[in-house]
């Protein structure tokens, strides 16, 4: 098939390289040094799913009409990317592979003539240098839309993607998005400290902050009427217990997350953006919890504070030590 991948960072680069490896005609969009590297030397993938160099067509926008497209930009860049490629996306299936809650809804509004479905990429990958992506943890990708069964477009897109990497169409995609939002609570603290996700969870002080933030996020989800989906060992039944559990017991969730990450250091997507000097999508992660709390007539002070700390590091370029984070968060976490 002719497949377009819009946004060729860690997640999009993995999808593009693996689809190329199984024989699809892949075209990607990229910018700057990443675009130059792909044009010169191909898109190089290594790590958990093996090594492959994809010789793919690349430009700042799609140049030919694909039969299927994957939108893999950061959440804050999605609307501009859709508008820049809208003529070639109209009328085809567009798979929105993004963190947060807003991406699929936004794509559906901007592309009313397309079948837009969501995807949750649970694998971890790092954008190491221009033209090179490394998969640090292999895992499934889940596709769907809404609260019910997956639409036909999601089933077909999952079938195509599954030939390249494990992919499944699921029921209750909205609930799965919320569960992924809970998993993504791990992103803020590495971005604030410069530590890997495993190091954050291994630090008792930071693990307490992480546990408090995910408990707060979980409770906000329930206040919004969410029925959490089942991914990465988390499901609605477990999260209902976690939301009410004492913190010493709820910290079992971060410890479960660390076991699933394996031993290869996982910086998380937010820290990767910080290291590249780019704006992060923290407003669509912890910031999304704050927005949803407001919609429920509640507050989410822990997630608000973490969002502010990430923005502080974005502005200063200086990471905080675990002790500094613990001290700054103490009034909210103790």
The dihedral built from the CA positions of residue 58, 59, 65 and 68, taken in this order, carries a sign that is positive
Q: What does the buried/exposed string (b/e) look like for 245-278 if buried means 16 or more CB atoms within 10 Å of the residue's CB?
A: eeeeebbebbeebbeebeeeebbbbbbbbbeeee
Q: How far apart are CA 194 and CA 305, in angstroms?
A: 17
User: What is residue 334's predicted lDDT score, i.e. its pLDDT?
Assistant: 77
Averaged pLDDT, groups of 10, the chain, 334 residues long: 96 98 98 96 96 98 98 94 97 95 94 97 89 94 96 98 98 96 94 95 96 97 96 92 94 87 82 89 96 97 98 95 96 90
User: What is residue 278's predicted lDDT score, i.e. its pLDDT?
Assistant: 85
- How large is the angle between the packed helices 103-110 and 78-89, nearest 10 degrees? 40
Among 122, 109, 250, 102, CA closest to 179: 122
User: What is residue 289's predicted lDDT score, i.e. its pLDDT?
Assistant: 97
CA atoms within 13 A of residue 163's CA, in its CB half-sphere: 13
User: What is residue 261's predicted lDDT score, i.e. its pLDDT?
Assistant: 80
User: What is residue 196's predicted lDDT score, i.e. its pLDDT?
Assistant: 93
Helix (H, G, I), strand (E, B) or coil at 253: helix
What does the block give as tokens for 306?
């973490």
User: What is residue 299's predicted lDDT score, i.e. its pLDDT?
Assistant: 97
User: What is residue 327's predicted lDDT score, i.e. its pLDDT?
Assistant: 96
Q: How far apart are CA 174 and CA 194, in angstroms?
A: 31
Q: How far apart are CA 119 and CA 144, in angstroms?
A: 7
Among 271, 177, 171, CA closest to 217: 177
């Amino acid at each position: 098939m002719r497949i377009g991948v819009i946004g060729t960072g860690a997640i999009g680069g993995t999808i593009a390289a693996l689809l190329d490896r199984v024989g699809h005609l892949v075209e990607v969009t990229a910018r700057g040094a990443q675009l130059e590297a792909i044009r010169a030397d191909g898109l190089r993938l290594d790590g958990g799913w093996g090594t492959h160099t994809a010789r793919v067509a690349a430009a700042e926008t799609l140049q030919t009409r694909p039969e299927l497209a994957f939108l893999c930009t950061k959440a804050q860049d999605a609307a501009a990317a859709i508008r820049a490629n809208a003529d070639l996306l109209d009328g085809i299936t567009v798979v929105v592979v993004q963190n947060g809650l807003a991406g699929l809804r936004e794509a559906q509004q901007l592309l009313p003539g397309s079948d837009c479905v969501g995807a949750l990429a649970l694998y971890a990958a790092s954008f190491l240098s221009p033209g090179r992506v490394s998969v640090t943890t292999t895992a499934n990708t889940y596709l769907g839309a809404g609260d019910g069964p997956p639409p036909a477009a999601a089933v077909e897109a999952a079938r195509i993607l599954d030939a390249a990497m494990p992919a499944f169409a699921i029921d209750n995609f909205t609930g799965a998005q919320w569960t992924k939002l809970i998993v993504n609570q791990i992103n803020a603290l590495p971005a604030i400290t410069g530590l890997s996700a495993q190091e954050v969870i291994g630090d008792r002080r930071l693990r307490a902050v992480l546990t408090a933030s995910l408990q707060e996020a979980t409770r906000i989800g329930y206040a919004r009427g969410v029925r959490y989906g089942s991914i990465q060992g988390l499901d609605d039944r477990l999260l209902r217990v976690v939301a009410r559990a004492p913190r010493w017991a709820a910290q079992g969730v971060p410890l479960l997350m660390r076991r699933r990450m394996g031993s290869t250091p996982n910086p998380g997507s937010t820290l990767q953006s910080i290291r590249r000097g780019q704006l992060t999508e923290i407003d669509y992660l912890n910031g999304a919890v704050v927005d949803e709390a407001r919609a429920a007539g509640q507050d989410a002070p822990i997630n608000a504070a973490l969002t502010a700390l990430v923005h502080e590091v974005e502005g200063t370029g200086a990471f905080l030590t675990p002790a500094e984070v613990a001290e700054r968060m103490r009034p909210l976490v103790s």
